[in-house]
Amino acid sequence: MYFHPDSQIIKLQEHARDLRLDSLEMIHRRQAGHPGGSLSAADIVAALFFHKMRIDPQNPAWPERDRFILSKGHASALLYAALAQCGYFPHEDLRRWGELDCHLQGHPDRLKTPGVDMTAGLLGHGVAVGVGIALAARMDGLSFRTYVLMGDGECQGGIVWEGAMVAAKYRLANLTAIVDFNNVQLDGTVHDILPLEPLADKWRACNWAVIEINGHDMRQILQALDSADEIHDRPTVIIARTTKGKGVSFMENKSHWHGVAPNDAQLAQAMAEIKGAGYHG
């Protein structure tokens, strides 16, 4: 387990704040997108892109880079914000998100956007694709890790568990899945639509190592990622309990904000709340 000084935690919290701000501005400008799940996963993405993953924005195809799969591809605003802030492309490109001739599409496309490792669309494919990438790393003798960020609603799909079983069969310790468990999906709460609990037990039954955390506590996120590095006989899943629409009072825990863009007044309030919240997760 690594020590993470307070200064590092604060810096990563600042990155998460900036990701939330960029995501909301993009969604407002386009008047389309998914604010709820982008805000809930911002702390996780900040920890990965600005601390944990070995990446080189100047060499996006570097063979030894860690891979990141946004299985919940509808939260693409968050991914694009992270890629821009890391330097994969100019920050001003975010203003053209969703335009037909722009490399930033509604769902990530690995053939168009530097830094994107999986083309996303239909939910649930991230774990299975991650299995293929992790197996390829083993076969090629490469040491990179693969991280899959998925939504809780995705876990209602059978393809997730097919991938999970294959990952366990091959003991893919270089694969880490992270569930953004905010308990809200498009049409309501996860526990009303199709309950997942006991989710941790389901992953354990598939022979995965399971770590449960508060997905807005930056120190817990970093410690969980560190712990996954020390597990060498099986894949790891981090179940991150989060809040849909985190940081914006009128969006939090509301299914309405799964895929609705804020108007001018709502954006102004949201930005003010995030900027005024300090750096706590």
Find the angle CA(67)-CA(70)-CA(74) to the nearest 5 degrees.
160
Residue 49, pLDDT score: 98
Residue 98, pLDDT score: 83
pLDDT in tens, 149-194: 999 999 999 999 999 999 999 999 999 999 999 999 988 999 999 9
The alpha carbon torsion through 81, 84, 90, 95 (nearest 10 deg) reads: -10
Distance between CA atoms of residues 68 and 57, nearest Å: 13
pLDDT in tens, 180-229: 999 999 889 999 999 999 999 999 999 999 999 999 999 999 999 999 99
Nearest Cα neighbor of 105 from 131, 80, 139, 138 is: 80
Residue 100, pLDDT score: 86
> What are the per-10-residue average pLDDT scores of the chain (281 residues)?
88 98 96 95 98 97 97 95 97 92 92 95 91 98 98 94 98 98 92 96 98 98 97 98 97 94 97 81 48
Q: Go through the domains of the chain in sequence order and give each one's CATH number.
A: 6-275 (3.40.50.970)
Residue 99, pLDDT score: 87
Q: Look at the pTM and tell me if it is higher than 0.85.
A: yes
Distance between CA atoms of residues 77 and 29, nearest Å: 11
Residue 26, pLDDT score: 96
Give me the phi and psi of 124, to 5 degrees please: 100, -10
